[in-house]
Structure 1
Amino acid sequence: MTPVRTLIAIATLAVVSATTTQAATLAEIQKTGVFRVGTEGTYPPFTYHDASGKLTGFDVAIARAIGARLGVKVAFLEGRWDGLIAGIDADRYDAVINEVGITPARKKKYDFSQPYIASKAALIVRSDDTAIKDFSDLEGKTAAQSLSSNYGAIATRNGATLTGTDGFAQSIALVLQHRADATVNDSLSYLDFKKHKPDAPVKLVATLPNADYSGVLIAKNQPELLAAINEALDAMKADGTYLKISQAYFGEDVSK
C-alpha cells in the first residue's frame, strides 16, 4: 500500500506541474516561426475588428511590425482583458500587446519592453451631466470599467463604485444608457471614438496630468526575447514605421 504521505506528495507535485510552465524563448519562437500575442480585439483603436471582421488597430499593427523584425509570423490569440496577463503564466502567449500599463506591481512578476505609447486617464460623462466635472466628483457615483485595469483603480480611489465591462466600447455604452455615471478611460480611445461618432452625447471633462506608459508584456527571465523586442521598437522609430502607424490611428506621435 502506498503511504498517505507519498500520495499527498504525488498530488502536490501534480498540482505544481500543472500550474508551472516554461515560457518560450526567442530561439524557440524563431524556430517555430510563430510569435503568439494575447490581445482583446474589443478595444478600439488599439485592438478591434473592422467592418469586415479583420483584427486591426494600433497595437495589432505594432505587434505585426515587431514580428516582422523578429522574422516570424504573429498569431493573435484573443481574450477578455481580465484573463490576458494570466495567459502568460499558462504559456498561452509569448507576449501581451494590448496597451498594458507599466506598473510596479506588474513589473514584479513580468518584464516589459521599453514604452511604446503614452496616454492619459480621461474622465468621460454624458454631455448633459453637470455634476461630474473632475475625478473627485466620482465619490458615490458608478463608473463603467474593466475591473482589473489601471483606470478602474483610479475610479475606485476617487470613491466610485465599479460596474464591470469588457472594454472601452461597453463602458461608453453603459454611460450612454444611464447604467453608469461615468467611465475613466484612455484619452486616445476617447478621441478615436469621437472621430468616428462626433455626435455621440458624451464629453471629456478632465484628464490626469501625468501620462501612463504601456509596453509589451512578457514572462520574466527572457532576456534575449526582451532585447529583440526593444531592438524592433527602436528600428521602427528609426525608419519611420512607428510614426506611420501612430499617425494612421491618432494623427500624431503618441510615443511620448
Structure 2
Amino acid sequence: MLSLTACGGATEAADSPAAKYELVQSGVITAATQAEQPPFAITDAAGRPTGFAVDLMNEAAKRLDLKVQYKSTTLQGMLAGLSAGQYDIGVAGVGATAERKKQVAFTTPYYWGFTDVLTLKGGKETALPDFYGKRVGAVSGSVQEVFVNHEMGRAKLVKFKDQTALITQLLSGGIDAAVLGGASADAYVAKEPVRIAVKLESLQGSAFPMRKDADPRLLKDIDAQIDAMIDDGTYVKLYKKYFHDPVAADLIKERPNLAKQVMNTDLAPVQD
C-alpha cells in the first residue's frame, strides 16, 4: 500500500479551518486512490499520486487548508475501505451509480465520459455483437463489469483487480477485448497497440465517493471548491491537461457554471 501526503497547512489548532471537519485523522483527508487509472489517478516516476482526480482534490484541499494523505488500493478496496471508515474519500474516476450510492456518499460529478471496448489494433470488431463468445475483461467491481454483464451478456466476462492486469492480458492475447472508461481507454490508445472498437456514452458521471457518515460540511465544501475552480478557470486548465474531448452536456447539467467557461471553445459539447 502506497501512502503519500500532499497539500495543506502545517497545524490543526482548535480554531483552524482544518479542525472543523470530522475526519479519520484530524486536519488530514485520508484518501484512497489507485496506482494505475489514467488519466484520473496514476503514480508518477517519483512514486507520487497524480492525475486529473488527484489534481482536483489537491487543489480543493489546499483551498480548504487541509492536507491529503493518499493510500493506494484497488477500486473494490476503496469502496470497502470507505464503508469500513478507513478513508474519508476516494480519489479516482469512480462512477456514481445508484447501487454504489447505497454503500457510499458521492460529491456532484466532476467528469462525464464514455464507455469504450478496446481490442488490439488488428481487431475487426465494430459492434457489441461482434464479441459474442469472446473473452472480455473488466476491472472487478467497476461499472464496466456491470456493462459487460448487462450489455455484452453473451461474451465471457474475465475480471481483473486493476487496469494494469487488464491491459497486460489484452496485449498478451489472454483476453479478446477490455472494457474501460473512455478517458482511460484514450490514454492506453496513445501508448499501446490497441484500438477503440466500440464507444458508448456513459450512463453516469465520475464523482468522489465518501463515507456514508462523512461530515456533510466536507462534502459540501469540496463541491463548492470545485465550483470555484470552474468559475476561476482552474478546472478548465486541468481538464485540458488531461482530456481532448469536449465537456459532456450531462456534466454541464450537473455543474452549470461550466457552460460559460466552455462556450464558443473547442470544449463546448457536441450538438446532436
> What is the TM-score with the length of structure 1 in the denominator?
0.82
Higher helix proportion (structure 1 or 2): 1
Task: Report the alpha carbon displacement of residue 218 of structure 1 after superposing the two structures with TM.
Answer: 1.1
Task: Report the alpha carbon displacement of residue 247 of structure 1 after superposing the two structures with TM.
Answer: 0.9
Rounded to whole Å, the distance in 2 between the matches of 1:88 and 1:142 is: 31
Q: How does 1:22-61 map to 2 (within 5 A)?
A: 27-29=21-23, 32-61=26-55
Rounded to whole Å, the distance in 2 between the matches of 1:141 and 1:156 is: 13
SS in 1 for 2:63: helix
SS in 2 for 1:38: strand
- Alignment partner of 1:84 is 2:82: no
> What is the TM-score with the length of structure 2 in the denominator?
0.77
Match of 2:175? 180
Identity %: 29
Match of 1:209? 201
- Alignment partner of 1:193 is 2:188: yes
Rounded to whole Å, the distance in 1 between the matches of 2:131 and 2:183 is: 21
Task: Report the alpha carbon displacement of residue 137 of structure 1 after superposing the two structures with TM.
Answer: 2.4
Match of 1:147? 140
Q: Which runs of 5+ in 1 are unaligned?
A: 1-24
Name which of structure 1's ranges 202-211 and 25-34 shifts more when overlaid on structure 2: 25-34
- Structure 1 residues 91 and 253 mapped into 2: Cα distance closer, same or farther (>3 Å)? farther
Q: Is contact 2:133-2:156 (8 Å) kept?
A: yes
Rounded to whole Å, the distance in 1 between the matches of 2:129 and 2:177 is: 12
- Structure 1 residues 236 and 97 mapped into 2: Cα distance closer, same or farther (>3 Å)? same
Question: How many residue pairs end up in the alignment?
Answer: 228
Match of 1:97? 91
Rounded to whole Å, the distance in 1 between the matches of 2:149 and 2:98 is: 18
Amino acid at match of 1:154: F
Q: Which runs of 5+ in 2 are unaligned?
A: 1-18, 252-272
Rounded to whole Å, the distance in 2 between the matches of 1:87 and 1:153 is: 21
> Among residues 234, 253, 259, which one is paired with 1:241 in the alignment?
234
SS in 1 for 2:180: strand
Match of 1:62? 56
Task: Report the alpha carbon displacement of residue 211 of structure 1 after superposing the two structures with TM.
Answer: 5.0
Q: Is contact 1:246-1:253 (8 Å) kept?
A: no
- Structure 1 residues 142 and 239 mapped into 2: Cα distance closer, same or farther (>3 Å)? same
